[in-house]
């Protein structure tokens, strides 16, 4: 499948979208990447199922899709790729994201550790919610205080080990 837009250089799984939306920081993605691609499976997980469960972050993601800066794509998962990804413990939506990033040489936005490891073994550049936070701060999209506030909100929406939290704070402090 051809890339949708020249500016689209990332494809996202559900995790970073959900975590950033819950921390009211989804805007960082648009500022950093302009256009974010998500497979239909990710839209189903983040918007459709999220709305069914009453999660307000689903409405933020849906609004971004309506505004056009998050674009849904259809990806046919290769049978062999699916088998290997399943053996690695990945969900179908993560496998689709990784396959698409691999084929089109895109950055993969992934928060789940097994998916990140799998993608990196294929040579894919990976960013998660914390990496996006640091990148947004480096790019002056956020100042340090805003970044620290979002980091604290992220601790309420996703698991962050104490060591990773401290490392992320130090990275932000250095900027």
Cβ neighbors of 175 (< 8 A, separation 6 or more) are: 134, 137, 138, 144, 147
- Per residue in 150-162, pLDDT tens? 999 999 999 999 9
pLDDT at residue 34, as a whole number: 85
Distance (Å, whole) CA 129 – CA 155 = 11
pLDDT score of 1 more than 50? no
pLDDT at residue 96, as a whole number: 96
CB atoms within 10 A of CB 6: 8
pLDDT at residue 6, as a whole number: 41
pLDDT at residue 2, as a whole number: 36
Distance (Å, whole) CA 28 – CA 138 = 12
Per the document, the length of the chain is 175
Domains and CATH numbers, the chain: 10-174 (3.40.50.1010)
Element counts in the chain: helices (H) and strands (E) = 11, 5
Handedness of CA 15, 18, 23, 26 (dihedral sign): positive
Cβ neighbors of 23 (< 8 A, separation 6 or more) are: 129, 150, 153, 154, 156, 157
- Per residue in 101-150, pLDDT tens? 999 999 999 999 999 999 999 999 999 999 999 999 999 999 999 999 99
- Per residue in 37-93, pLDDT tens? 999 999 999 999 999 999 999 999 999 999 999 999 999 999 999 999 999 999 999
Per-residue tokens: 138: 């480096």
pTM: 0.92
Distance (Å, whole) CA 167 – CA 173 = 10
pLDDT score of 26 more than 70? yes
pLDDT at residue 13, as a whole number: 97
């Amino acid at each position: 499948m051809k890339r949708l837009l020249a500016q689209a250089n990332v494809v996202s799984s559900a995790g970073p979208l959900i975590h950033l939306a819950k921390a009211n920081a989804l805007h960082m993605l648009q500022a950093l990447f302009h256009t974010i691609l998500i497979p239909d499976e990710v839209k189903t997980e983040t918007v459709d199922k999220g709305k069914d469960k009453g999660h307000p972050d689903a409405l933020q993601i849906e609004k971004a899709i309506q505004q056009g800066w998050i674009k849904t794509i259809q990806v046919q998962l290769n049978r062999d790729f699916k088998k290997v990804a399943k053996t690695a413990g990945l969900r179908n939506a993560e496998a689709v994201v990784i396959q698409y990033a691999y084929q089109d040489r895109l950055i993969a936005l992934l928060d789940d550790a097994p998916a990140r490891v799998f993608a990196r073994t294929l040579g894919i550049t990976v960013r998660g919610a914390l990496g996006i936070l640091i990148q947004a701060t480096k790019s002056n999209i956020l100042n340090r205080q805003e970044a620290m506030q979002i980091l604290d909100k992220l601790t309420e929406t996703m698991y962050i080990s104490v060591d990773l939290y401290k490392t992320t704070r130090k990275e932000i402090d250095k900027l």
